[in-house]
Amino acid sequence: MVTGAAGMLGADLTALLAGEGEDVAALSRRDLDLCDPSAVREAVRTAKPDVVVNCAAWTAVDEAETREREALAVNGDAVRPLAAACAGHGVTLVHLSTDYVFDGTARTPYAEDEPVNPVNAYGRTKAAGERAVLRHGGYVVRTAWLYGAHGPNFARTMIRLAAGGDPVHVVDDQHGQPTWTADLAAQIVRLVRASPAPGVYHGTNAGQTTWYGYAREIFRLLGADPDRVRPTSSRDFPRPARRPAYGVLGHQAWGRAGLTPMRDWREALRDAWPRIAGSGEL
């Protein structure tokens, strides 16, 4: 069972599983209201899945600053009955979380067992969901900077802006890991099939860059002049929600589980390029 199946990651995960002959219940928000505990319990009871992957989330980071209660209802409160229902029926739960559970003050990649300390409402709500999953023995997969063929994302925005002739100003003081949803979907499948010890795993492509460095790589792949991308500071683009300056995630847990971490973000972006650049209206 995949919740949030209409989103970028959910769509790629559903397609991958179906292509491998798995029986998949792909549930969008219209199919299942995660904020209805009785509906969640009934869905798990009647579908009898072996695995639930919860890709559903409130992802409007800035809106969460003024609507934290609503964001918490999806990212935190709704996860508790889902985790309890899965545990009660012997179902493996994989829950997607975020680098925003960290405060961004580190200078080396965050380990999976690093204490969380979110600096914005979105991060607080996702941390609440993590606690519920871990309490019931599930898997938390933290990810970041997702891009894919099935929704709006930074890569597609840069492709659109590159079509113009103006300089594009992008912040160079936020560090992270661009992550292809198809790579993450495959890593989730490997995790479930290997069935290592439950806990936290970091599902990001390897390496690190800034939004500025990421944008320049996109321009290069387009054949556009990367020097049209100009570095700037987050202070020049104030947003309602504070962004962690450093959200790079470490991948030690994969090795302990006998699994290989995800590949470098540049290699992934090159392989993703035909699907991203040719994925329809930008």
Residues 6 or more apart whose CB falls under 8 angstroms from that of 198 comprise 134, 137, 138, 139
Identify whether 100 is a catalytic site residue: no
Instruction: For residue 115, give Cα distances in angstroms to 107, 110, 112, 199, 200.
Output: 15, 9, 9, 14, 12
Nearest to 12 by CA among 88, 96, 78, 82: 96
How long a stretch of residues is the chain? 282
Catalytic residue among 110, 122, 139, 147: 122
- The identity of residue 191, as a single letter, is L
- Could you please report the per-residue DSSP string of 213-282? HHHHHHHHHHTS-GGGEEEE-GGGS--SSPPPSB--B--HHHHHTT-PPP-BHHHHHHHHHHHHHTSS--
* DSSP states along 18-31: HHTT----EE-TTT
What radius of gyration, in Å, describes the C-alpha atoms of the chain? 18
Contact (Cβ atoms closer than 8 angstroms) between residue 140 and residue 130: yes
User: What distance in Å separates the CA atoms of residue 187 and residue 141, rounded to the nearest whole number?
Assistant: 10
- Residue 43: left (phi > 0), alpha (psi -120 to 50), or beta? alpha
User: Is 227 within 8 Å of 169 (Cβ atoms)?
Assistant: no
SS3 82: helix
Q: Is 281 left (phi over 0), alpha (psi -120 to 50) or beta?
A: beta
Q: Which residues form the catalytic set?
A: 122
